[in-house]
């Protein structure tokens, strides 16, 4: 079971969350992309412990920088389009449930500590938000990624 949907982790800085998201990708057949630099060594024991043996079952594409990721994304475009970059952000304008997802979308989460910089925010084709109670800021990044991956798979067909 494999989908062309991707989850991109922009410079992840908490290994346990990254491991959890990669484990979800493995279970759901979603390719993961890690945009470096990460805030921890990818071989870090916490990272491996969170992902457990599931890390051997996930396809992980590594991009050494935001620029390298953008070059890869540009090369993936065709005359009829290419994968959209959908950023999960508390500054999103669209609820994640109001998007018509496509099978080749790239869902991106930012750093747990700081999100993404303005240029990355500006490069997104869509910026989606998960509404939370007014007095609270946000959900854990791994929980957010799982919610949006689930909705995208629900819409595009989960094998």
Checking if the pLDDT of 78 tops 80, the result is: no
Residue 139 located in a structural domain? yes
Residue 1 placed within a domain = no
Total number of domains in the chain: 1
Note whether residue 109 is domain-resident: yes
Percentage of residues in the chain with pLDDT exceeding 90? 69
For 126-144, what is each residue's pLDDT tens digit?
999 999 999 998 899 999 9
Is 112 a member of any domain? yes
Confidence of residue 10 (pLDDT cuts 50, 70, 90): very high
**Does pLDDT of 103 surpass 80?**
yes
Domain that holds residue 149: 6-156
β-pair type (31-35, 85-88): unpaired
Q: Would you say residue 50 lies in a domain?
A: yes
Evaluate if residue 50 carries a pLDDT over 70.
no
pLDDT of amino acid 153? 96
pLDDT at 3 over 90: no
Residue 72: inside a domain, yes or no? yes
Indicate if the pLDDT at residue 14 is higher than 80: yes
- Domain CATH for 123: 3.40.1280.10
pLDDT at 45: 62
Per the domain annotation, does 133 fall within a domain?
yes
Helix (H) or strand (E) holding 63: strand 60-63
CB 16 within 8 A of CB 117: no
Rounded to whole angstroms, the Cα distance separating 63 from 94 reads: 27
Q: How many CB atoms within 10 Å of residue 56? A: 8
Which one, of 38, 78, 46, lies nearest residue 62 by Cα?
38
What integer best gives the mean pLDDT of the chain? 90
Confidence (pLDDT) at 137: 85
- pLDDT at residue 44 tops 60: no
Asked if residue 152 belongs to a domain, the reply is yes
- The pTM of the full predicted model, rounded to 2 decimals, is 0.92
């Amino acid at each position: 079971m494999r989908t062309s949907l991707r989850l991109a982790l922009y410079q992840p800085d908490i290994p346990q969350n990254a491991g959890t998201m990669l484990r979800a990708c493995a279970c759901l057949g979603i390719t993961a992309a890690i945009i470096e630099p990460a805030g921890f060594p990818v071989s870090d024991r916490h990272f491996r412990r969170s992902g457990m043996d599931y890390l051997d079952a996930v396809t992980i594409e590594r991009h050494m920088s935001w620029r390298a990721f953008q070059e890869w994304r540009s090369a993936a475009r065709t005359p009829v389009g290419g994968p959209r970059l959908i950023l999960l952000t508390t500054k999103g304008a669209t609820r994640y449930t109001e998007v018509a997802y496509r099978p080749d979308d790239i869902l991106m989460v930012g750093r747990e500590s700081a999100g993404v910089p303005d240029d990355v925010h500006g490069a997104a084709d869509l910026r989606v938000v998960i509404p939370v109670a007014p007095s609270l800021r946000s959900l854990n990044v791994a929980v957010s990624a799982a919610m949006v991956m689930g909705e995208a798979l629900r819409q595009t067909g989960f094998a």
